[in-house]
Amino acid sequence: MKTKYTRRDFLTGLVNRFQQKDSLDQKTGFDDLSRRIDLHIKHSEYQEAIHCLKELLAKSPDHLQARRKLGYCYQQTQELDQAVEEFKSVLQILEKDNFSLLYLGLVMCKKGQIDQAFKYWKKYFNVDKPHIQRRLNLYIGYYESGVELSGSELVREVEEAISEQKELG
Tens digits of residue pLDDT in 39-64: 999 999 999 999 999 999 999 999 99
The pLDDT score that the predictor gives to residue 168 is 86
Residue 141 CA to residue 34 CA, distance in Å, equals 39
Q: Which CATH class is domain 25-95?
A: mainly alpha
Per cent of the chain over pLDDT 90 is 78
Instruction: Give the pLDDT band (50/70/90) at residue 78.
Output: very high
Residues in the chain: 169
Cβ-based neighbour number of residue 82 at 10 Å: 16
Q: Who has greater pLDDT, 18 or 6?
A: 6
Domain ranges of the chain: 25-95, 113-169
Residue range 9-40, pLDDT digits in tens: 555 555 544 444 555 656 666 678 989 999 99
CA-CA distance, 48 to 21, in Å (whole number)? 24
Residue 31 pLDDT = 79
CA angle in degrees (0–180, nearest 5) for 119-129-34: 90
At residue 159, does pLDDT exceed 50? Answer: yes
Write out the E strands in the chain: none
